[in-house]
Structures are given as structure tokens and as C-alpha cells.
Amino acid sequence: MNEIKVGIGNYQAGQRTLLISYGLGSCVGIFLFDKVKHAGALGHILLPGRCEEVAPIRPEKYCYNIVEMMIAHLTGEGSLKKNLVGKIAGGARMFHFITASEKHWIGDKNIESARIKLQKEGIPIKAEDVGGNYGRTLIANTETGILRIKTVKHGIKEI
């Protein structure tokens, strides 16, 4: 099966492909899967919300922007939005030794942003593995819809 790497603040899409994103800490991975066409997209979210700049250099770093781009890509390739389901993973509090109020944890904001945006788009979240204080590597199988999550100390999990 073909493997495609997904960089930070970017997304990739494909059919019958493995989409791989390495080293998510406070970032969140969003996997959109079309259960009919066996196609999907994996986004590596760096920042919550939407980029509001007039001429942004990298709008795909932001959750709302990248979700919209992934939906447009998949529907442009023939997927129907009603057939899309979502899975999310990541959003860790990587630096637990730093004292900060709850509102300053970027991982928490990324998780909330992903949940809100998918709900607004009418895409159900079928599974998630979020939070904690450890990094994750994600492997999204666009043929089966399985999102494999690898960690150093917590093993491998499939959702």
C-alpha cells in the first residue's frame, strides 16, 4: 500500500493509501474517511480556529482552514460529504512541568477547535484519542478507515 507523509500544518489525501503523520504533541490529527469510496484525508493541525489574515502564507496551519480544505479535496474527488466520518487524535499537554492556567494549553484548544469544526460541518466524530502528556504518530488507512496511533510509552492503539 502506498504511504504518504503528512507534515505539520498540512494535509494529504488518497484512496487505498496510508497517510502518516509523525510526532504530534499539542497538535491534533484529524482523519476524514469516506466509508463508501474508501478515500480519506489526514490533517496535522498546528493551531486552533481560523486564519483571519487577508493573504495568509499558510492558512492550512489552522484547524478550520485545513478541515475546509480536506472536505473540498475529498468532495472534489467524488466523495459525498454525507459519507464522511471523522477521527481525531493528539492535543497533548507536552510540557506538564510548566505552570499555566487551563486556558493557555494549546493542545486543549486544538481538541476543542477540531470538535467544534467537525460538528459545524455535520461530520460525526466516530472515535478519538486525545489529551494526555505524550506524543503520538498517526497512521490513517484510507481503505479500512482505521487510525493507528503509536506512542513511545503507551503502545499502539487503533480507533
Query: What residues act catalytically?
Result: 27
pTM above 0.85, yes or no: yes
How confident is the model over 25-42, as pLDDT tens digits? 999 999 999 999 999 999
How confident is the model over 17-76, as pLDDT tens digits? 999 999 999 999 999 999 999 999 999 999 998 877 666 678 889 999 999 999 999 999
Bridge-partner residues for 20, per DSSP?
5, 139
In sequence order, what DSSP letters do the residues of the chain get, joined into one string?
-EEEE--TTEEEEEESEEEEEEEESS-EEEEEEETTTTEEEEEEE-BSS----SS-S-GGGBHHHHHHHHHHHHHHTT--GGGEEEEEEE-----TTS---GGG-HHHHHHHHHHHHHHHTT--EEEEEE-SSS-EEEEEETTT--EEEE-SSS-EEE-
Domains and CATH numbers, the chain: 2-158 (3.30.1330.200)
